[in-house]
Amino acid sequence: MDVIHSVGALRERLQREPNNVFVPTMGNLHDGHIQLVRLAKPRAACTVVSIFVNRLQFGPREDFDRYPRTLESDCNKCREAGANVVFAPDEREIYPEPQTFVVEPSELQHVLDGALRPGHFRGVATVVLKLFNMVRPHAALFGKKDYQQYLVLRDMVRQLAMPIEIIPADTVRAADGLALSSRNSYLSATERNEAPQLFVALQRVCAAVRSGALHGKAERDAMQALAGRGWQPDYVAVRRQHDLQAPTGDDRRLVVLAAARLGRTRLIDNIELELER
């Protein structure tokens, strides 16, 4: 496996194997990331993993400075999973000058997480487009734990006519149901024991929706239940899978999404569900 830090060296390396599949990450890799690498392997001769903590997608009071940087451990995990190239640039390599050209996503960037984190999905889309131009993959994999991010990037590739297949991968969970996330490392032992309750809340909303309950009531009940356990919920929302708009009576392919703070740690999760007609 090659560990590469410059765009020039990356392009030179990939000239030998232009048929590549790409897994973009911010590092501090866990089993969810490694599952993406393993899913990527059969799809191309060369699997590329990027590790870059992207300042553009962090708000001014978010955790950019304390986000875990664990490059040596990440490279070992990528090597064990069979990656061919790890691209680990520094900030000057990705942004050698102020980034004045940016990707402005659709209205999808302004709902749910986008409403609470203004500019977040602009930063995500901009860095991913730059990485796509550097790696030039024919396919890229993204986990569906970050469901809204996956939709934003799927739409970007489609609207910009990029010859890249966006492949979603199911959320990987711990044995107790907690969705794996690099930010789980922020949780204290007590908080880690409580954290699976976010998934429990989503499961209860899914059960309520399947039984015919009003979506608004199911959402409010889940928010109140989390708050009663000491969480600070940002939202629990039932939306359409394809565009995250509020569903109508005819919509059957739904997704229930949630974001909530537990102590200082903000966690997100979602469950897709399909209603019978």
In this structure, what token pair is assigned to residue 174? Answer: 């711990």
Question: 23 near 37, Cβ under 8 Å?
Answer: yes
Contacts of 23 (CB under 8 A, 6+ apart): 33, 36, 37, 40, 47, 48, 49, 50, 83, 140, 141
- Cβ neighbours of residue 164 under 8 Å, at least 6 residues apart? 132, 137, 138, 139, 140, 157
Residue of 33, 110, 120, 242 marked catalytic = 33
Q: How far, in Å, are 57, 162, 181, 228, 262 from residue 87 at the CA level?
A: 19, 21, 21, 44, 33
Tell me how far apart the alpha carbons of residues 101 and 52 are, in angstroms, rounded to a whole number. Answer: 19
138 is catalytic: no
Contact residues for 45 (Cβ-Cβ < 8 A; gap 6+): 17, 19, 20
Beta strands in the chain (DSSP E): 2-4, 20-25, 46-51, 85-87, 139-143, 165-169, 232-240, 253-262, 265-274
| Residues designated as active site | 33
